[in-house]
Amino acid sequence: MSFIEFKNVCKMYPGSKVNTVDNFNLNIEEKEFIAFVGPSGCGKSTTLRMMAGFEEITGGELYIDGKKVNDVAPRDRGIAMVFQNYALYPHMTVEKNIGYGLKNMKMPAEEIKKKVDWAIHILGLEEYRYRKPKNLSGGQRQRVALGRAIVKNQKLFLMDEPLSNLDAKLRVSMRTEISKLHRELGATTVYVTHDQVEAMTMADRIVIMKDGIVQQVGKPMELYDHPVNQFVAGFIGSPQMNFFDVDVNGNNVRFADGSNITLSAATAEKLKGHQGMMTLGIRGEDIKVIGPDRKADADTENVLTAVITDTEVMGNENNLYFSFGGCQAVARVSKYEIAQIGDRISFTFVPSKLHFFDKDTGINFMEME
Protein backbone atom coordinates (compact mmCIF):
# COMPACT_ATOMS: atom_id res chain seq x y z
CA MET A 1 0.00 0.00 0.00
CA SER A 2 1.25 3.47 -0.84
CA PHE A 3 1.83 6.05 1.89
CA ILE A 4 -1.07 8.17 0.62
CA GLU A 5 -3.91 6.82 -1.48
CA PHE A 6 -6.69 8.82 -3.05
CA LYS A 7 -9.54 6.56 -4.18
CA ASN A 8 -12.13 8.34 -6.34
CA VAL A 9 -11.99 11.39 -4.07
CA CYS A 10 -14.54 14.08 -4.91
CA LYS A 11 -15.34 17.48 -3.47
CA MET A 12 -18.59 19.31 -4.09
CA TYR A 13 -19.26 22.56 -2.27
CA PRO A 14 -22.77 23.18 -0.93
CA GLY A 15 -24.91 24.92 -3.51
CA SER A 16 -22.69 23.80 -6.38
CA LYS A 17 -23.78 21.30 -9.02
CA VAL A 18 -20.32 20.30 -10.21
CA ASN A 19 -17.43 18.68 -8.41
CA THR A 20 -14.58 21.04 -7.61
CA VAL A 21 -12.39 17.94 -7.42
CA ASP A 22 -13.68 15.08 -9.52
CA ASN A 23 -12.78 11.41 -9.11
CA PHE A 24 -9.24 12.05 -7.93
CA ASN A 25 -7.10 8.91 -7.89
CA LEU A 26 -3.47 9.02 -6.88
CA ASN A 27 -0.89 7.01 -4.96
CA ILE A 28 1.95 8.85 -3.27
CA GLU A 29 4.92 6.89 -2.01
CA GLU A 30 6.77 7.54 1.23
CA LYS A 31 9.49 10.24 1.04
CA GLU A 32 8.22 11.37 -2.34
CA PHE A 33 8.06 15.08 -3.26
CA ILE A 34 4.95 15.56 -5.32
CA ALA A 35 3.66 18.82 -6.75
CA PHE A 36 0.06 19.64 -7.64
CA VAL A 37 0.06 22.21 -10.37
CA GLY A 38 -2.60 23.87 -12.47
CA PRO A 39 -4.30 27.20 -13.15
CA SER A 40 -6.37 29.04 -10.52
CA GLY A 41 -9.56 27.19 -9.62
CA CYS A 42 -8.31 23.80 -10.84
CA GLY A 43 -8.86 22.18 -7.41
CA LYS A 44 -5.24 21.72 -6.35
CA SER A 45 -5.53 23.67 -3.08
CA THR A 46 -8.88 22.03 -2.33
CA THR A 47 -7.26 18.61 -2.73
CA LEU A 48 -4.45 19.63 -0.37
CA ARG A 49 -6.94 20.97 2.15
CA MET A 50 -8.87 17.69 1.99
CA MET A 51 -5.61 15.93 2.86
CA ALA A 52 -5.13 18.32 5.78
CA GLY A 53 -8.69 17.79 6.96
CA PHE A 54 -9.78 21.41 6.51
CA GLU A 55 -12.21 20.50 3.74
CA GLU A 56 -14.73 17.70 3.98
CA ILE A 57 -14.33 14.88 1.46
CA THR A 58 -17.75 14.54 -0.18
CA GLY A 59 -16.98 11.33 -2.09
CA GLY A 60 -14.35 8.59 -2.21
CA GLU A 61 -11.71 7.60 0.31
CA LEU A 62 -8.40 9.01 1.43
CA TYR A 63 -5.77 6.88 3.17
CA ILE A 64 -2.68 8.25 4.91
CA ASP A 65 -0.15 5.70 6.12
CA GLY A 66 -2.67 2.91 5.70
CA LYS A 67 -5.39 4.59 7.73
CA LYS A 68 -8.61 5.94 6.27
CA VAL A 69 -8.69 9.59 7.30
CA ASN A 70 -11.94 10.89 5.77
CA ASP A 71 -13.33 11.63 9.23
CA VAL A 72 -10.10 12.10 11.18
CA ALA A 73 -9.46 15.55 12.71
CA PRO A 74 -6.55 17.53 11.18
CA ARG A 75 -4.44 17.26 14.34
CA ASP A 76 -4.66 13.46 14.28
CA ARG A 77 -3.57 12.99 10.68
CA GLY A 78 0.16 13.30 11.42
CA ILE A 79 0.72 16.22 9.09
CA ALA A 80 2.52 19.54 9.15
CA MET A 81 1.53 22.34 6.84
CA VAL A 82 3.05 25.51 5.45
CA PHE A 83 0.48 28.11 4.41
CA GLN A 84 0.51 30.61 1.58
CA ASN A 85 0.18 33.57 3.97
CA TYR A 86 2.53 31.99 6.54
CA ALA A 87 -0.20 31.87 9.24
CA LEU A 88 2.28 32.76 11.98
CA TYR A 89 1.04 33.65 15.44
CA PRO A 90 1.50 37.44 15.43
CA HIS A 91 1.85 37.86 19.19
CA MET A 92 4.56 35.22 19.58
CA THR A 93 8.29 35.47 18.89
CA VAL A 94 9.98 33.31 16.26
CA GLU A 95 11.11 30.91 18.96
CA LYS A 96 7.61 30.58 20.44
CA ASN A 97 5.99 30.21 17.03
CA ILE A 98 8.25 27.27 16.24
CA GLY A 99 7.90 25.65 19.65
CA TYR A 100 4.15 26.16 20.11
CA GLY A 101 3.11 22.81 18.67
CA LEU A 102 5.72 20.95 20.71
CA LYS A 103 4.49 22.67 23.87
CA ASN A 104 0.96 21.52 23.12
CA MET A 105 2.30 18.00 22.58
CA LYS A 106 3.43 18.21 26.25
CA MET A 107 7.05 17.70 25.28
CA PRO A 108 9.57 18.42 28.08
CA ALA A 109 10.90 21.99 27.98
CA GLU A 110 14.50 20.84 27.43
CA GLU A 111 13.56 18.79 24.40
CA ILE A 112 11.49 21.65 22.98
CA LYS A 113 14.47 23.95 23.31
CA LYS A 114 16.73 21.44 21.60
CA LYS A 115 14.36 21.02 18.66
CA VAL A 116 13.66 24.75 18.33
CA ASP A 117 17.42 25.46 18.42
CA TRP A 118 17.94 22.88 15.69
CA ALA A 119 15.20 24.36 13.46
CA ILE A 120 16.40 27.92 14.05
CA HIS A 121 19.94 26.85 13.17
CA ILE A 122 19.18 25.01 9.94
CA LEU A 123 16.88 27.80 8.76
CA GLY A 124 19.40 30.52 9.61
CA LEU A 125 17.05 32.36 11.97
CA GLU A 126 19.46 32.79 14.90
CA GLU A 127 19.45 36.59 14.90
CA TYR A 128 15.65 36.77 14.61
CA ARG A 129 14.91 34.37 17.45
CA TYR A 130 13.22 36.92 19.70
CA ARG A 131 11.51 38.96 16.99
CA LYS A 132 7.81 38.91 16.32
CA PRO A 133 6.50 38.16 12.81
CA LYS A 134 5.69 41.82 12.06
CA ASN A 135 9.40 42.61 12.34
CA LEU A 136 10.44 39.96 9.79
CA SER A 137 10.66 40.07 5.99
CA GLY A 138 8.55 37.78 3.80
CA GLY A 139 11.38 35.27 3.34
CA GLN A 140 12.13 35.19 7.07
CA ARG A 141 8.44 34.66 7.87
CA GLN A 142 8.26 31.79 5.42
CA ARG A 143 11.33 30.23 7.06
CA VAL A 144 9.61 30.49 10.46
CA ALA A 145 6.56 28.76 8.95
CA LEU A 146 8.88 26.02 7.66
CA GLY A 147 10.49 25.78 11.08
CA ARG A 148 7.11 25.32 12.72
CA ALA A 149 6.41 22.46 10.30
CA ILE A 150 9.73 20.62 10.58
CA VAL A 151 10.11 20.52 14.37
CA LYS A 152 7.12 18.27 14.84
CA ASN A 153 8.70 15.29 13.07
CA GLN A 154 5.56 14.59 11.06
CA LYS A 155 5.77 12.14 8.19
CA LEU A 156 3.79 14.31 5.79
CA PHE A 157 4.38 17.95 4.86
CA LEU A 158 1.73 19.87 3.00
CA MET A 159 2.74 23.14 1.37
CA ASP A 160 0.11 25.44 -0.10
CA GLU A 161 1.79 27.86 -2.52
CA PRO A 162 4.40 28.73 0.12
CA LEU A 163 6.51 30.92 -2.14
CA SER A 164 3.82 32.86 -3.97
CA ASN A 165 4.18 35.96 -1.78
CA LEU A 166 7.94 36.24 -2.23
CA ASP A 167 9.84 38.19 -4.86
CA ALA A 168 11.41 36.32 -7.79
CA LYS A 169 14.95 36.19 -6.40
CA LEU A 170 13.88 35.03 -2.94
CA ARG A 171 11.63 32.43 -4.51
CA VAL A 172 14.60 30.82 -6.26
CA SER A 173 16.65 30.66 -3.07
CA MET A 174 13.70 29.34 -1.02
CA ARG A 175 13.11 26.68 -3.67
CA THR A 176 16.61 25.40 -3.07
CA GLU A 177 16.12 25.54 0.70
CA ILE A 178 12.87 23.56 0.58
CA SER A 179 14.41 20.93 -1.71
CA LYS A 180 17.40 20.65 0.63
CA LEU A 181 15.12 20.31 3.66
CA HIS A 182 13.14 17.60 1.91
CA ARG A 183 16.31 15.63 1.19
CA GLU A 184 17.56 16.03 4.76
CA LEU A 185 14.29 15.22 6.54
CA GLY A 186 12.97 12.60 4.15
CA ALA A 187 9.33 13.46 4.85
CA THR A 188 6.72 12.93 2.17
CA THR A 189 5.92 16.35 0.74
CA VAL A 190 2.88 17.48 -1.18
CA TYR A 191 3.44 20.89 -2.70
CA VAL A 192 0.76 23.01 -4.35
CA THR A 193 1.78 25.68 -6.81
CA HIS A 194 0.51 27.46 -9.89
CA ASP A 195 4.11 28.03 -10.97
CA GLN A 196 5.18 25.20 -13.25
CA VAL A 197 8.86 26.18 -12.85
CA GLU A 198 8.62 25.46 -9.10
CA ALA A 199 6.98 22.12 -9.82
CA MET A 200 9.52 21.16 -12.49
CA THR A 201 12.56 22.09 -10.39
CA MET A 202 11.48 20.61 -7.04
CA ALA A 203 9.16 17.67 -7.50
CA ASP A 204 9.84 13.98 -8.03
CA ARG A 205 6.46 13.75 -9.70
CA ILE A 206 3.96 16.35 -10.84
CA VAL A 207 0.16 16.13 -10.87
CA ILE A 208 -1.36 18.49 -13.42
CA MET A 209 -4.98 19.43 -12.77
CA LYS A 210 -7.62 21.33 -14.69
CA ASP A 211 -11.25 21.92 -13.68
CA GLY A 212 -10.91 19.46 -10.79
CA ILE A 213 -9.70 16.63 -13.01
CA VAL A 214 -6.21 15.15 -13.06
CA GLN A 215 -4.78 15.63 -16.54
CA GLN A 216 -1.49 13.77 -16.14
CA VAL A 217 0.78 12.45 -13.40
CA GLY A 218 4.45 11.90 -14.07
CA LYS A 219 8.05 12.88 -13.61
CA PRO A 220 8.82 16.44 -14.73
CA MET A 221 10.58 15.42 -17.95
CA GLU A 222 7.90 12.86 -18.77
CA LEU A 223 5.34 15.65 -18.72
CA TYR A 224 7.60 17.95 -20.67
CA ASP A 225 8.48 15.48 -23.41
CA HIS A 226 5.36 13.32 -23.46
CA PRO A 227 2.31 15.42 -22.61
CA VAL A 228 -0.88 13.41 -22.97
CA ASN A 229 -2.94 16.38 -24.11
CA GLN A 230 -2.70 19.90 -25.39
CA PHE A 231 -3.45 21.43 -21.96
CA VAL A 232 -0.46 19.70 -20.34
CA ALA A 233 1.72 20.52 -23.34
CA GLY A 234 0.79 24.18 -23.10
CA PHE A 235 0.97 24.41 -19.31
CA ILE A 236 4.41 22.88 -18.84
CA GLY A 237 7.34 24.76 -20.33
CA SER A 238 8.28 28.40 -20.65
CA PRO A 239 7.87 29.81 -23.22
CA GLN A 240 4.94 27.54 -23.84
CA MET A 241 4.78 25.01 -26.67
CA ASN A 242 3.95 26.39 -30.13
CA PHE A 243 0.68 25.24 -31.64
CA PHE A 244 -0.26 25.34 -35.34
CA ASP A 245 -3.47 24.35 -37.11
CA VAL A 246 -2.55 21.72 -39.71
CA ASP A 247 -4.16 19.32 -42.13
CA VAL A 248 -2.53 15.88 -42.10
CA ASN A 249 -2.89 13.82 -45.21
CA GLY A 250 -0.79 10.67 -45.31
CA ASN A 251 2.80 11.82 -44.66
CA ASN A 252 2.04 15.35 -45.68
CA VAL A 253 1.36 18.11 -43.15
CA ARG A 254 -0.14 21.27 -44.60
CA PHE A 255 -0.14 24.52 -42.59
CA ALA A 256 -2.82 27.21 -42.86
CA ASP A 257 -0.58 29.41 -45.04
CA GLY A 258 -0.08 26.57 -47.56
CA SER A 259 3.41 25.54 -46.37
CA ASN A 260 4.04 21.81 -46.24
CA ILE A 261 6.33 19.42 -44.45
CA THR A 262 6.69 15.68 -44.89
CA LEU A 263 6.60 13.44 -41.84
CA SER A 264 9.29 10.86 -41.28
CA ALA A 265 8.19 7.24 -41.46
CA ALA A 266 8.59 6.86 -37.68
CA THR A 267 6.44 9.92 -36.90
CA ALA A 268 3.80 8.87 -39.42
CA GLU A 269 3.65 5.42 -37.83
CA LYS A 270 3.17 6.94 -34.37
CA LEU A 271 0.18 8.90 -35.69
CA LYS A 272 -1.47 5.52 -36.28
CA GLY A 273 -3.42 6.63 -39.29
CA HIS A 274 -4.98 9.74 -37.73
CA GLN A 275 -5.72 12.14 -40.57
CA GLY A 276 -7.37 15.47 -41.21
CA MET A 277 -7.42 18.73 -39.28
CA MET A 278 -5.47 18.68 -36.01
CA THR A 279 -3.10 20.81 -33.93
CA LEU A 280 0.63 20.42 -34.31
CA GLY A 281 2.73 21.19 -31.25
CA ILE A 282 6.45 21.82 -31.09
CA ARG A 283 8.59 23.33 -28.33
CA GLY A 284 10.65 26.44 -29.02
CA GLU A 285 13.97 24.65 -28.60
CA ASP A 286 12.90 21.99 -31.11
CA ILE A 287 12.61 24.59 -33.87
CA LYS A 288 16.04 24.68 -35.53
CA VAL A 289 16.75 28.07 -37.05
CA ILE A 290 19.03 27.74 -40.05
CA GLY A 291 19.85 31.40 -40.50
CA PRO A 292 18.60 34.61 -42.09
CA ASP A 293 17.79 34.17 -45.76
CA ARG A 294 19.59 30.83 -45.90
CA LYS A 295 18.22 27.56 -47.06
CA ALA A 296 19.16 24.38 -45.25
CA ASP A 297 21.84 22.31 -46.86
CA ALA A 298 19.95 19.07 -46.39
CA ASP A 299 16.30 18.16 -45.95
CA THR A 300 15.37 21.13 -48.10
CA GLU A 301 11.79 20.02 -48.53
CA ASN A 302 11.01 20.49 -44.79
CA VAL A 303 12.56 23.95 -44.51
CA LEU A 304 10.07 26.66 -43.67
CA THR A 305 10.51 30.42 -43.63
CA ALA A 306 9.06 33.26 -41.57
CA VAL A 307 9.74 36.89 -40.65
CA ILE A 308 10.80 37.75 -37.08
CA THR A 309 8.26 39.95 -35.33
CA ASP A 310 9.94 40.27 -31.94
CA THR A 311 13.01 39.13 -30.04
CA GLU A 312 13.76 38.50 -26.35
CA VAL A 313 17.34 38.49 -25.16
CA MET A 314 17.42 36.26 -22.08
CA GLY A 315 21.18 36.36 -21.55
CA ASN A 316 21.84 32.64 -21.85
CA GLU A 317 19.60 32.29 -24.90
CA ASN A 318 17.40 34.29 -27.25
CA ASN A 319 13.72 33.91 -28.03
CA LEU A 320 12.77 34.72 -31.61
CA TYR A 321 9.08 35.40 -32.21
CA PHE A 322 7.60 34.99 -35.67
CA SER A 323 4.26 34.53 -37.39
CA PHE A 324 3.83 31.28 -39.23
CA GLY A 325 0.87 29.36 -40.53
CA GLY A 326 -1.52 31.92 -39.11
CA CYS A 327 -0.15 31.49 -35.58
CA GLN A 328 2.38 33.30 -33.42
CA ALA A 329 5.37 31.09 -32.61
CA VAL A 330 8.64 31.31 -30.71
CA ALA A 331 11.96 29.63 -31.31
CA ARG A 332 14.58 29.31 -28.56
CA VAL A 333 18.06 29.73 -29.94
CA SER A 334 21.51 30.06 -28.42
CA LYS A 335 22.73 33.47 -27.31
CA TYR A 336 25.10 33.53 -30.30
CA GLU A 337 22.29 33.36 -32.84
CA ILE A 338 21.25 36.97 -33.06
CA ALA A 339 18.47 38.12 -35.37
CA GLN A 340 16.68 41.41 -35.81
CA ILE A 341 12.99 42.21 -36.11
CA GLY A 342 12.09 41.99 -39.79
CA ASP A 343 14.76 39.35 -40.63
CA ARG A 344 13.48 36.43 -42.63
CA ILE A 345 14.59 33.16 -41.07
CA SER A 346 14.55 29.60 -42.31
CA PHE A 347 13.84 26.81 -39.87
CA THR A 348 12.97 23.14 -39.53
CA PHE A 349 11.11 21.17 -36.86
CA VAL A 350 12.93 18.31 -35.08
CA PRO A 351 10.85 15.41 -36.48
CA SER A 352 10.93 13.26 -33.33
CA LYS A 353 9.66 16.15 -31.18
CA LEU A 354 6.45 16.80 -33.08
CA HIS A 355 3.15 16.39 -31.23
CA PHE A 356 -0.25 16.08 -32.87
CA PHE A 357 -3.33 16.93 -30.82
CA ASP A 358 -6.96 16.16 -31.56
CA LYS A 359 -8.76 19.39 -32.47
CA ASP A 360 -11.74 18.66 -30.20
CA THR A 361 -10.46 16.63 -27.25
CA GLY A 362 -6.85 17.86 -27.22
CA ILE A 363 -5.54 14.28 -26.90
CA ASN A 364 -1.96 13.82 -28.04
CA PHE A 365 -2.08 11.16 -30.79
CA MET A 366 1.66 10.58 -30.40
CA GLU A 367 1.26 9.44 -26.78
CA MET A 368 -1.72 7.14 -27.27
CA GLU A 369 -1.16 3.55 -26.16
Partner 1 sequence: MFTKKQRRINWILVAVLLVLSIFFLFPVIWMLANSFKPDAAITSDMNTIAAFIPPAPGNGFFDNYISIITDTNFLRYMGNTLFYAAVLIILSIVVNGLAGYALAKIKFPFRDQWLMVIIMLLIVPTETVITIHFLIIAKAGLLNTIVGYILPLIVNPFNIFLFRQVFVSLPDDVYEAAQLDFCGPVKYFFTMVLPMSKTVVATVSVFTFLNVWNDYLWPSLVFTSSDLLTAQIGLNSITSNENTTMGQTLAVITLVTIPVIIIYSLFSKQIVEGVTSTGSKEG
Choices 19-27, 67-75, 178-186, 296-304; region in contact with partner 1 by CB under 8 A: 67-75
Choices 61-69, 73-81, 268-276, 318-326; region in contact with partner 1 by CB under 8 A: 73-81
Distance CA 289, CA 17 (A): 50
User: x/- site string to partner 1, residues 8 to 47, per CB under 8 A?
Assistant: ----------------------------------------
246 binds partner 1 (CB under 8 A): no
Which residue from 83, 118, 321, 365 is in contact with partner 1, where contact means CB under 8 A? 83
Is the CB of 81 or the CB of 282 nearer to partner 1? 81
326 binds partner 1 (CB under 8 A): no
- Closest CB 103 distance from partner 1, rounded Å: 9
- Closest CB 87 distance from partner 1, rounded Å: 4
Which residue from 29, 56, 105, 295 is in contact with partner 1, where contact means CB under 8 A? 105
Is the CB of 104 or the CB of 153 nearer to partner 1? 104
Which residue from 10, 72, 87, 172 is in contact with partner 1, where contact means CB under 8 A? 87
94 binds partner 1 (CB under 8 A): no
Is the CB of 52 or the CB of 287 nearer to partner 1? 52
Is the CB of 148 or the CB of 270 nearer to partner 1? 148
> Residues 138 to 197: which contact partner 1 by CB under 8 A?
148, 152
CB 187 within 8 A of CB 156: yes
135 binds partner 1 (CB under 8 A): no
- Contacting positions for partner 1 (CB under 8 A): 52, 54, 73-75, 79-81, 83-85, 87-91, 100-101, 104-105, 148, 152
